[in-house]
Structure 1
Amino acid sequence: MARLIGKKTQVEDVKKLTGPEKAAVLLLALGEDHSGLWKQLDEDEIKEISQAMAGLGTVTAQVVEDVLVEFVAGMSGSGSVMGSFEQTQKLLAAFMPADRVEGLMEEIRGPAGRTMWDKLGNVNEAVLANYLKNEYPQTVAVILSKVKPEHAARVMTALPEDFALECVQRMLRMEPVQREILDKIEQTLRTEFMSNLARTSKRDSHEMMADIFNSFDRQTEARFIGALEERNRESAERIRALMFVFEDLSKLDPGGVQTLLRAVEKDQLGLALKGASEALREMFFSNMSERASKIMREDMEAMGPVRLKDVDAAQMAMVQAAKDLAAKGEIMLAGAGGADDELIY
């Protein structure tokens, strides 16, 4: 079984490669000029090698040489190869119809599992319930009867109670399902649910990294963003657009600012504002009483020089407090993606 999709590691020992991974290295090394080799494979083989390729990560030149002894002379100068979703999709597109390539890549990106029911068993119960609540109870009954009981129980708990009870009644009265009906349900799940889930998961990976980057100090963030830009500018730009940074608090409405002020310690606020732009400082001061604003200014002056890492820590704490309040529905955060995210009143 190929290693987990998305876990990019450096392969340094050929003995750790599975058969499909070795085949993936071979096809990556040969590149698009030899994509005709894929035509000799059946669909299951294509899927298995594609999954291995998409999760391969970096393979050192030495391992490439070990796998492809007859190509040592040609490969030794080119160094390592990189297996990725993008490279896999590009190679598949050379000999497969676009719709089949897209379907295959979405299935690879989706939850792990050999069958549709295995895949559903790896989908978060809340996500699955949110989809199923809009389906017919009879269809939901069939689906829940095909997944593991413990997962079905969690999904039912997440469904509206009346709807869940209706599904239970349908399951109690359910007779053996005809093969063609089951096939139709599987196809609908694949095209309407799994494909959307795969696209969402792809976006979520950038959102996850944006959250991680938000937690870096400024120097570390700049170093990682800079390094990522050199390797994958598109991903770097997407992460930067998704990041919510301290200066984005300027997009809060007055009520949101005042709610945030009540949730933040005064000494932490003063330290964070020491490193803020003048415009952002004034926004916070204008939402305080005149007396509180004056005291805060005096406290900030009394601090004298402060360490950058302390300011970063205070600002990150304020950003996290704002996110926590937004999660509770107490304030609304506009994203960092530009004008499209501005709030209209």
Structure 2
Amino acid sequence: MAERRNKLTGKQKAAILMIALGTDVSATVFKHLTEQEIEELTLEISNARKIDPDLKRQIIDEFFQTALAQEYISQGGIGYAKQILEKALGPDQAKHIIQRLTTTLQVRPFDFMRKSDPQQILNFIQNEHPQIIALVLCYLEAQQAASVLSALPEESQADIAKRIAQMDRTSPEVIAQVERVLEKKISSSSVNQDYTQTGGITSIVSVLNGVDRTTERNILDHLEKHDSDLAEEIKKRMFVFEDIIVLDDRAVQRVIRESENEDLILAMRTASDEVKDLLFHNMSERMAASFKEEMEYMGPVRLHDVEEAQTRIVNTIRKLEDAGEIVIARGQGDDVIV
């Protein structure tokens, strides 16, 4: 029976587990899956025929052990999980569970840091080399990294932001060495065995979207002086057209007034229903009706033209924010709307 279980794919095991758990529990699980995952799992369930009760029990037991191991890892890392499982199940079975889990579970570096308060993290890393600080911030949650970056001295913020933006891949040996140093200050850690995509424009944009406006301006002002292309690329990605939903009605109305009608119509061509509804809500009935009619009869347009129109509107939003005429709600600081 164990041999048969080992020949099953992960999807087949998941299907058997869903059948064993029943419709109510399975329906709850499905709410957390993507459409593709639901389709694939549904197909496996439909293909499942009579399932041996012993096989069903083994699948449930395997799932329970894996879930338990994952919980142990989240509490204290792989070493801690291995130690607990060895005591409970013996070294061979513990090794098998950990190996099976780590093939599917990406244990990110500096996991122990993500469980710490941003102020604690700041205390531990503020005297480290800027490249080490940048590396650590890449692996923190965006809001954590934003809090730490905001609290660093102004003269080092832009340098660290630039290092994050220009970081590409970091070897596991370097990550492991940094972790070993920092874990002595905080706790044990786990090391990713693969070369990991670290930092980059997307990473620093996520961080800057969470800092207060003063910190953001300080960093971008410094970057514009020393690397204008990088600063421009970051600014392009920091606020996209779909982010207009974070503006209040008064700000949206101001953006509509300051934008060309042609740009608004083009920009809404690929916009989500939520964005369209927000814009129509803040137009006069006559203007909204006119826009809807024109959009209905509009012929094919180039995606490039739509993106350029959206960029012009985003630039208008940023100019209005810089002038203090609208406020973009951010994660913290004096930019939070009250």
TM-score, L = length of structure 1: 0.36
TM-score, L = length of structure 2: 0.36
